[in-house]
Amino acid sequence: MSLRVDWRVSAGILGRVLRWLTLALAVPVVAALWYDEALGPFLAAAAVSLAVGLSLERIGRWDAENVGPREAYLAVSLVWLAIALVGAVPFVLGGAGAIARPEYALFESMSGITTTGATVVVDFGAQPRSLLLWRSLLQWLGGLGILALATAVLATLGVGGAQLMETESQLEDVNKLTPRLIDTARIIWGLYVLLTVGTVGLLLALRVSGLAPEMTPYDAVAHAFTSISTSGFSPRPDSAGAFSPAVQWAFVLVMTVGATNFVLLYHLLGGDRSRIRRSDEFRFYVAVLAGASALVFALLLVTPGNGPLGEETLRHSAFQVVSIVTTTGYATLDYTVWPASAKHVLFMLMFVGGMAGSTTCSVKALRWLVILRAFRRDLYTTVHPEAVRPVRLSGRPVDEEAVQDIYAYTLLVIVGFFLGAVLLVVDAARVGLALSEFEALGAAASTFLNIGPAFGLAGPFDSYAPFPRSSKLLMTVLMWVGRLEIVPVLVLLTPAYWRS
Amino acid sequence: MRVVIIGAGQVGESIAADLDESNEVIVVEEDPERCEELTYGLDVLTINGDGTSVDTLEEAGVADADMVIASTDDDETNIVACSTVKAISEAFTIARVKKTEYLKTWRRSNTAFGIDFMVCTNLLTAQSIVRVVGLPGALDVDPFAGGKVQMAEFEVAPDSDVAGQTVAEADRFDSLTFAALLREDAVIIPTGETVIEGEDRLVVIGSPGSVREFASTVASIDEQDEVNEVVVVGGSEVGYHVARLFEERDVSVRYIEQDADRARELAEDLPNAVVLQSDATDVDFLEREHIADADVLVSTLDSDEKNLLACLLSKRLGVGRTVSIVDSDPYIDLFETVGVDVAISPRAVVAEEITRFTREGTAENVALIESDKAEVIEIEVGEDSPLAGRTILDSVADLPERVVFGAITRNGAFVTPRGDTVIEAGDHVVAFAPADVAEGLTARL
């Protein structure tokens, strides 16, 4: 059996991405200089990524014609793994306490680049500020997924870049923005930077106006990185709970925007509001946010001892719902003490996700909307067997093959999540860790769907540190596979991929 | 007028037949046998050759022609022919197309492809079907004066309110004029005492509102309800446009198409219609889907026989009214005799539209009744017109007999013509005239 994948093309792409990652490491280096902290860990990571990147580029090939779907799948899968590995280097070398252990560092780094936000950090105060900033920056880089990282690659790849984009199905609408892919990538990338700067500005403005005295410039930058990218790391141990109500409402806004389709945002900023009005997915997404917030609010009200009727309860309900649906994972309070009904609603919301073409993870509103519409159609055709009814989205018919793909994908998510949960329970039992079924389900969903916090042991103000080493590795894999939307990794595992 | 017609199919022949009496008509046709048939059948000159070739067109004398009508069955041929004509002549060009895409392109500039006037078979047929379906009992409907006036032809149902009444009794509407009664082959100009009989055909001219009201008194009792639900059969372009036009009017549409791919296409293009993929002659299916509940069934299948079958089956099941397109003109009467309520020939519709347009040199708008028995003409009254400044009673005395003034619009408002109405310059007059006096009438006015 000969290898049918042109691995040298994938190696070339991988090399180029790692070389660019070196540049990103300049941010924590500057921060380390500013705060007078150790430079070594970041310089070491930069050296690793530069050396590996350059040598991969040397052995790799660099011609667009050879980037077929196989090469793209391989490259995409490996890019995330490689960044997670390089990203872990500063944690190992510069982290304080347990985070310096390799499996902790890899977990944290993978959680960062996949925008999950599940953390193993317990002692926030002991960590260098530059390290926590690197942690946030990893999430920001992972926010736009492959696009933000591979812009440089796309530029050189030209035609082949489309293959690379297709595997990142999150950006399914993106290539409609301009005829040339690289221009679209630049627009989306620019928009992302603009939104991030805007978030920093908003947070600092709240500080200046006196509404957020605890918001330091450092906090503003770190939180802007992880809120607009809907990823959820916070350098504060009590997450968004450390800030004033005004900041929390601001986060609700930023998370909602981050999980909105960037193409829609682009048109909105360009003054074209009709697109957002026409978008069925946007309406569905907003309706889910509003409906679920109202539901959680109502559940809290009817359960004695869970907050009075008022702004505070409403804020916590809305914040938690938005944070989970957008897969951010910030928390304003420890919702694990909430009534079971509210917690179950949050658990179910983990599977929703924001809009396709945004920074969000999980199943995504688009897929659920298609599934709901297809289901409604199937009910209709049960009564009228001859009826031909295309599933429509924003007035446009959805291809039947796409509907099938969406069903299959969603089923894969459910199966993968259950498998993960079972393995976590078994592994916890092996070492004698007290992990309830609900906690296991929560942790599996939270890592596989890239949300971050879960319930109980892995609650919003706790960490994943107590999980056994094998569970951490398992969840690292879950985050990786989940962020890639399963398929690219599964493709690599099929025999057909490796044969002609 | 020198008119060159390219293509001697049914449409070309029909136009030639309408124009040959008062015009110099030259027909270009590829098939020599068709040329021969036409030479013997009509008073025209035939040129055997390809209508898109410059040589053939020059031979046909296009350089001196006033009008060139490209009426072959092939859209692209017609378009190329018109473009070629424009390259070598100043003649006014008319093209017949089937695809609405071409019409859309042409409408952007009204000169695209070198075409001065474009008629779209499928769209015209669909519009004509929708107009007829909108009026219960109507066989033909044509708009005049920018839609302010409507001419409609009805068949009087024997059980309707007006059957057996005199015209004076039936005329309960202010803005409606009874232009003619067609009884068997005769064109009768009715007076107040004329008795309307069942199965007579009535031509009325009036405001759309009054025509609509009248429609419900002339139709049979069970046809008088408003049309709320339509079933379209057959995924042709005509069917698609019929469905689309009904959708625009908020009529609920069910569409039956047998081919899976075409059904999917229709379902994608018609978001509000229910598309059913099945055979429209499958009785079990028709019963299961309660097709009988529909007010109207429009059949637009490719085969005349299947159209007839679909219409008769649905009629038997209880559909209120059936409309069918008919490919072959001689079948029209047959269809209507055996029970299809309205049979419409797309070719006849197009031929009529083109003929109507060629007549518009003298009149604003023309409608042909029963294809040639009579005409309804719209005229804008000029300062020097013999009609201007006189009452209708005075004018009628000078005009050929049997001319009826059906409606007048003045500054866009409807004026009911009565004997003492004074016609002013600038008025639009819609008049009815039997075929034998129509030509003379347009010439005099």
Average model confidence (pLDDT) across chain A: 88
User: What's the gap in Å between the CA of A287 and the closest CA on chain B?
Assistant: 23
User: Cα(A253)–Cα(A214) distance, rounded to whole angstroms?
Assistant: 19
A280: chain B residues, CB-CB within 8 Å? none
A55 against B226, higher pLDDT: A55
- What are the tens digits of pLDDT across the range A371-383? 999 999 999 999 9
Beta bridge partners of B48: B29
The reply to whether residue B277 touches residue A384, judged by beta carbons under 8 angstroms, is no
The reply to whether residue B268 touches residue A390, judged by beta carbons under 8 angstroms, is yes
User: Cα(B63)–Cα(B82) distance, rounded to whole angstroms?
Assistant: 13
DSSP element (H, E) containing A475: helix A469-483
User: What's the gap in Å between the CA of B276 and the closest CA on chain A?
Assistant: 4
Phi first, then psi: give them for residue A27, nearest 5 degrees: -60, -55
Confidence band of A168 (pLDDT split at 50, 70, 90): very low
A-interface mutation test, from B253, B255, B264, most A Cβ less than 10 A away:
B264
Asked if residue A488 has pLDDT above 90, the reply is: no
The reply to whether residue A389 touches residue B267, judged by beta carbons under 8 angstroms, is yes
Report the residue from B271, B285, B289 with minimal CB separation from A395. Answer: B271
| Chain A contact present for B285, CB below 8 A | yes
Query: Considering Cα of A332, then A336, then A339, then A343, what sign does the dihedral take?
Result: positive
Asked if residue B308 has pLDDT above 70, the reply is: yes
Contact partners, residue B441, CB within 8 Å, separation at least 6: B377, B399, B400, B403, B431, B433
The reply to whether residue A387 touches residue B274, judged by beta carbons under 8 angstroms, is yes
Least CA distance to A377: which residue of chain B?
B274
Q: What is the dihedral of CA B122, B125, B130, B136, to 10 degrees?
A: -160
- How many CB contacts within 8 angstroms connect chain A with chain B? 30
Residue closest to A79 by CA, chosen among A480, A495, A499: A480
DSSP string over A176-216: GSSSSHHHHHHHHHHHHHHHHHHHHHHHHHHHHTTS-TT--
Phi first, then psi: give them for residue B109, nearest 5 degrees: -125, -15
Residue B416 burial (C-beta neighbours within 10 Å; 0-12, 13-18, 19+) = middle
Q: Would you state the pLDDT for residue B148?
A: 84
B232: chain A residues, CB-CB within 8 Å? none
User: Cα(B201)–Cα(B181) distance, rounded to whole angstroms?
Assistant: 6
A-interface mutation test, from B289, B291, B293, most A Cβ less than 10 A away:
B289
Q: Would you state the pLDDT for residue A161?
A: 57
% of chain A surpassing 70 pLDDT: 91
Report the residue from B264, B271, B285 with minimal CB separation from A388. Answer: B264
User: What's the gap in Å between the CA of B48 and the closest CA on chain A?
Assistant: 48
User: Cα(B399)–Cα(B407) distance, rounded to whole angstroms?
Assistant: 17
Instruction: Determine if residue B229 is left, alpha or beta; phi over 0 gives left, psi from -120 to 50 gives alpha, anything else beta.
Output: beta
Confidence band of B416 (pLDDT split at 50, 70, 90): confident
Phi first, then psi: give them for residue B349, nearest 5 degrees: -60, -45
The reply to whether residue B285 touches residue A386, judged by beta carbons under 8 angstroms, is yes
The reply to whether residue B276 touches residue A384, judged by beta carbons under 8 angstroms, is yes
B260: chain A residues, CB-CB within 8 Å? 388
User: Cα(B16)–Cα(B39) distance, rounded to whole angstroms?
Assistant: 11
Instruction: Determine if residue B5 is left, alpha or beta; phi over 0 gives left, psi from -120 to 50 gives alpha, anything else beta.
Output: beta
In the block, tokens 């260098």 appear at A128
Residue A447 burial (C-beta neighbours within 10 Å; 0-12, 13-18, 19+) = buried
Residue B371 is which amino acid? S
User: What's the gap in Å between the CA of A358 and the closest CA on chain B?
Assistant: 28
Asked if residue A354 has pLDDT above 80, the reply is: yes
Q: Tell me what the mean pLDDT of segment A314-322 comes to.
A: 95
| Chain B contact present for A386, CB below 8 A | yes
A-interface mutation test, from B233, B262, B276, B283, most A Cβ less than 10 A away:
B276
Least CA distance to A389: which residue of chain B?
B267
Q: What is the dihedral of CA A419, A420, A422, A424, to 10 degrees?
A: 160
Q: Would you state the pLDDT for residue A349?
A: 96
User: Cα(A220)–Cα(A224) distance, rounded to whole angstroms?
Assistant: 6
Phi first, then psi: give them for residue A103, nearest 5 degrees: -70, -30
Q: Would you state the pLDDT for residue B314?
A: 93
- What are the tens digits of pLDDT across the range A389-408? 999 988 888 888 888 888 99
Query: 3-state DSSP call for residue B305?
Result: helix
Query: Considering Cα of B279, then B283, then B288, then B291, what sign does the dihedral take?
Result: positive
Report the residue from A388, A392, A397 with minimal CB separation from B276. Answer: A388
- What are the tens digits of pLDDT across the range A73-86? 788 888 889 999 99
User: Cα(B144)–Cα(B409) distance, rounded to whole angstroms?
Assistant: 10
User: What's the gap in Å between the CA of A397 and the closest CA on chain B?
Assistant: 6
Query: Residue B57 gets which letter from DSSP?
Result: H
Query: 3-state DSSP call for residue B173?
Result: coil
The reply to whether residue A388 touches residue B275, judged by beta carbons under 8 angstroms, is yes
Instruction: Determine if residue A372 is left, alpha or beta; phi over 0 gives left, psi from -120 to 50 gives alpha, anything else beta.
Output: alpha
Residue closest to A362 by CA, chosen among A318, A402, A416: A416
Residue A82 is which amino acid? A
User: Cα(A473)–Cα(A39) distance, rounded to whole angstroms?
Assistant: 28
Q: Tell me what the mean pLDDT of segment B211-222 comes to.
A: 77
**Cα three-residue angle A95-A100-A104, rounded to 5 degrees:** 115
Residue A177 is which amino acid? L
% of chain A surpassing 90 pLDDT: 60
Q: Would you state the pLDDT for residue A311?
A: 92
User: Cα(B306)–Cα(B325) distance, rounded to whole angstroms?
Assistant: 11
Q: Is the CB of residue A373 less than 8 Å from the CB of residue A392?
A: yes
| Chain A contact present for B276, CB below 8 A | yes
User: Cα(B299)–Cα(B310) distance, rounded to whole angstroms?
Assistant: 7
Asked if residue A160 has pLDDT above 60, the reply is: no
B254: chain A residues, CB-CB within 8 Å? none
User: What's the gap in Å between the CA of A172 and the closest CA on chain B?
Assistant: 21
Asked if residue B441 has pLDDT above 90, the reply is: no
The reply to whether residue A388 touches residue B267, judged by beta carbons under 8 angstroms, is yes
| ipTM summary value | 0.78
Residue closest to B303 by CA, chosen among B332, B273, B325, B276: B325
Average model confidence (pLDDT) across chain B: 87
B268: chain A residues, CB-CB within 8 Å? 390, 397
- What are the tens digits of pLDDT across the range A32-54? 999 999 999 999 999 999 999 99
The reply to whether residue B275 touches residue A389, judged by beta carbons under 8 angstroms, is yes
Beta bridge partners of A461: none
Query: Considering Cα of A189, then A195, then A199, then A201, what sign does the dihedral take?
Result: positive
User: What's the gap in Å between the CA of A306 and the closest CA on chain B?
Assistant: 47
A388: chain B residues, CB-CB within 8 Å? 260, 263-264, 266-267, 275-277
| Chain A contact present for B275, CB below 8 A | yes
B266: chain A residues, CB-CB within 8 Å? 388
Q: Is the CB of residue A296 less than 8 Å from the CB of residue A321?
A: yes
| Chain B contact present for A390, CB below 8 A | yes
Q: Which residues 395-434 of chain A have a CB within 8 Å of chain B?
A: 395, 397
Exposure of B252 in the CB half-sphere (CA atoms within 13 A): 7
% of chain B surpassing 70 pLDDT: 96
The reply to whether residue A386 touches residue B264, judged by beta carbons under 8 angstroms, is no
